[in-house]
Chains A and B, each alone.
Chain A
Amino acid sequence: MSAAPRGPAVELANLTATHQRHPAVHHVTARFAPGSLAAIVGPNGAGKTTLLRSIAGLHRVDEGRVVLSGSRARVALLPQQSGMDRSFPILCLDVVLQGLWSRLGAFRAAGGAERDRAQAALEAVGLGGFARRPVAAMSAGQFQRLLFARLLVQDADLILLDEPFNAVDARTAADLLAVLRRWHGEGRTVLAVLHDLDLVQREFPDCLLLAREAIACGPTAEVLSAANRLRARRMAEAWDEAAPACAA
């Protein structure tokens, strides 16, 4: 990383995002430096997905702000797979080409250059021979590789990944992790929601420990101290139906 990172800094200032007025992310203040490779960890129901969606602008922010330095930063989000129709009749190459939406939009045709780029992305995730394969024939791991290829083509400055290594085998996880390192090397900002703390400690320099509120944010080794992890585990998962309006 000789040049200045191309990824934006991500600043969360007193961020609160709710589901039916109950906070999923509560007064979170944290900062990720430009080009950081950071993990977001925390127990189930800690608000990790909601936080990612808020950063991507897909979840309404009730209070506080998300600030990306460099206002024209392109953002890409890899959600958990639930909403996708994996039986849809579409070929792998066409899925990767969707990553060019911000440039091609609804109407412009994908030319040779775009197809070459999509093919190169498929090869980068180990799916070189899959261009003409329908997605319905893909396994869960192959499908996740395919979504990474689409992310590669999106060429975003800030990449948000929601549990990217779920349901993939060790080899696929290792390959996809290599893609993450490549993005990091290119100076993009990468935030990934993860559950595997060993992986986080091994591969992610920075970390946000979230339990609806930010328990700690910073260098991974400090954030994942035993004391912090204990505090995160104490988070009550259930909504308090009788909770009064928050005064903070």
Chain B
Amino acid sequence: MEFLFGPFLEFGFMRRALVGCLALAVAAPLLGVFLMLRRTSLTAEVLAHGVTPGIAAGFLIAGLSVPAMSLGGLVAGLLVAVGAGALSRATGGREDAALTALYLIALALGVTLVSLRGGAGDLTHLLFGQVLGVDDQALLLMAGVATLTLPALALAWRPLALECFDPGFAQAEGVRGGLWHGLFLVLVVLNVLAAFQAMGTLMAVGLMMLPAVAARHWSRELSGMAYAAVGLAVAAAGAGLLASFHLDLPSGPAIVLAAGLFWAVSVVAGPVDGLWARLARRPHLAG
């Protein structure tokens, strides 16, 4: 008990970290599920790195200020989202190579910008985040983004799912696929920004994608996947923070590692296409 709850009861910074990470964990994995189903998992990574130059620009102008860095990140993220969409259309859907080029450039640009003014500490903050140093503003941003994401996604859920499953039918029924997809990308950018506060640009999509990819092994249905993804993300946030406290590990990577561990367990033991289910040859049914 003491092992599980002690750190959070005793230390304010652990409580804040927990609240922030739980806010990320209830919203971001849902976006991750759709990214995965659209086979655009790379998009999250691209957006996470794509916001870096904007955040760095905010940092150059105003120092380590959450509003300035977030605003810069938002502008950069939206630009990258629009640019990625244009690239995707221009390359006939084979955008992965172009997107990879885009995010490598963005990351390098961001790191360069921060190095112009900041020291190694600032760079570490940018790249890996500081879960344990989450201040009020960052906490508000993370909670606000989660508060916005859940109802927005509830509204967009059916059109997004339909567009994903059968775009032709969605078009014929007059679903404004582009509009909903645009809203979806804005939500992804916002969640990446929120995650950036805690996890840094290199780890920001960890809680978004890993639980979503793992959830595939727990349900054959979209809603089941969504519940599983959120459950896994919440568990990973808690487990990661505890591991970082007790084992003295950097907290952002510890959370992503915990999510990675859950993913590995899901691949092996998950009921849907899990290795165990595949290898354990149970007798087939009669009909």
B266 CB to closest chain A CB (Å) equals 15
Q: Which of A88, A89, A95, A98 contacts B219 (CB 8 A)?
A: A89
Q: Which of B37, B166, B173, B221 contacts A84 (CB 8 A)?
A: B166
B155 CB-CB contact with A under 8 Å: yes
- B-chain residues with CB within 8 Å of residue A58 when the two chains form the complex: 171-172
Q: Which of B37, B173, B219, B224 contacts A101 (CB 8 A)?
A: B173
In the assembled complex, the Cα of A106 lies from the Cα of B172 at a distance in Å of 14
**Nearest 10 A/B pairs, CB to CB:** A134-B220, A88-B165, A83-B168, A101-B173, A79-B168, A84-B166, A106-B158, A89-B222, A106-B159, A77-B172
A169 CB-CB contact with B under 8 Å: no
- B-chain residues with CB within 8 Å of residue A239 when the two chains form the complex: none
B212 CB to closest chain A CB (Å) equals 12
- A-chain residues with CB within 8 Å of residue B220 when the two chains form the complex: 89, 134, 136
Q: Which of A91, A98, A106 contacts B221 (CB 8 A)?
A: A91
In the assembled complex, the Cα of A98 lies from the Cα of B220 at a distance in Å of 18
B60 CB-CB contact with A under 8 Å: no
- B-chain residues with CB within 8 Å of residue A101 when the two chains form the complex: 162, 173, 175
- Please determine whether B169 and A106 come into contact, CB atoms closer than 8 angstroms: no
In the assembled complex, the Cα of A101 lies from the Cα of B169 at a distance in Å of 10
B231 CB-CB contact with A under 8 Å: no
B126 CB-CB contact with A under 8 Å: no
- A-chain residues with CB within 8 Å of residue B275 when the two chains form the complex: none
New A-B contacts (12) at CB < 8 Å, excluding given A75-B172, A88-B222: A79-B169, A84-B166, A85-B165, A89-B216, A89-B219, A90-B161, A101-B162, A102-B173, A106-B158, A106-B175, A107-B155, A107-B158
A179 CB-CB contact with B under 8 Å: no
B102 CB-CB contact with A under 8 Å: no
Which single residue of chain B is at the shortest CB-CB distance from A108?
Answer: B158
B225 CB-CB contact with A under 8 Å: yes
Which single residue of chain B is at the shortest CB-CB distance from A83?
Answer: B168
Given A101-B173, A102-B173, A107-B155, the answer on whether A88 and B164 have CB atoms closer than 8 Å is yes
In the assembled complex, the Cα of A136 lies from the Cα of B272 at a distance in Å of 12
In the assembled complex, the Cα of A85 lies from the Cα of B162 at a distance in Å of 10
B8 CB to closest chain A CB (Å) equals 35
B118 CB-CB contact with A under 8 Å: no
A56 CB-CB contact with B under 8 Å: yes
Interface bits B104-130 vs A (CB < 8 Å: 1, else 0): 000000000000000000000000000
- Please determine whether A56 and B165 come into contact, CB atoms closer than 8 angstroms: no
In the assembled complex, the Cα of A101 lies from the Cα of B158 at a distance in Å of 10
12 chain-A/chain-B pairs, Cβ below 8 angstroms = A58-B171, A76-B172, A79-B169, A83-B167, A84-B165, A89-B224, A89-B225, A90-B165, A98-B166, A101-B175, A102-B173, A134-B221
Interface bits A71-89 vs B (CB < 8 Å: 1, else 0): 0000111010001110011
B residues lining the A interface (CB < 8 Å): 37, 155-156, 158-159, 161-162, 164-169, 171-173, 175, 216, 219-222, 224-225
Chain A CB count within 10 A is highest, among B173, B219, B225, for B173
For window 36-87 of A, CB contacts with B under 8 Å fall at 56, 58, 75-77, 79, 83-85
- A-chain residues with CB within 8 Å of residue B166 when the two chains form the complex: 83-85, 98
B84 CB to closest chain A CB (Å) equals 20
- B-chain residues with CB within 8 Å of residue A89 when the two chains form the complex: 37, 216, 219-222, 224-225
Chain B CB count within 10 A is highest, among A89, A90, A102, for A89
For window 97-134 of A, CB contacts with B under 8 Å fall at 98, 101-102, 106-107, 134
Which single residue of chain B is at the shortest CB-CB distance from A80?
Answer: B168
- B-chain residues with CB within 8 Å of residue A84 when the two chains form the complex: 165-166, 168
Which single residue of chain A is at the shortest CB-CB distance from B38?
Answer: A85
A55 CB to closest chain B CB (Å) equals 11
In the assembled complex, the Cα of A84 lies from the Cα of B163 at a distance in Å of 10
- B-chain residues with CB within 8 Å of residue A79 when the two chains form the complex: 168-169, 172
In the assembled complex, the Cα of A85 lies from the Cα of B169 at a distance in Å of 12
Which single residue of chain A is at the shortest CB-CB distance from B39?
Answer: A85
In the assembled complex, the Cα of A83 lies from the Cα of B37 at a distance in Å of 14
- Please determine whether A56 and B155 come into contact, CB atoms closer than 8 angstroms: no
A63 CB to closest chain B CB (Å) equals 23
In the assembled complex, the Cα of A83 lies from the Cα of B170 at a distance in Å of 11
In the assembled complex, the Cα of A19 lies from the Cα of B173 at a distance in Å of 23
In the assembled complex, the Cα of A7 lies from the Cα of B79 at a distance in Å of 48
- Please determine whether A98 and B162 come into contact, CB atoms closer than 8 angstroms: yes
- B-chain residues with CB within 8 Å of residue A102 when the two chains form the complex: 173
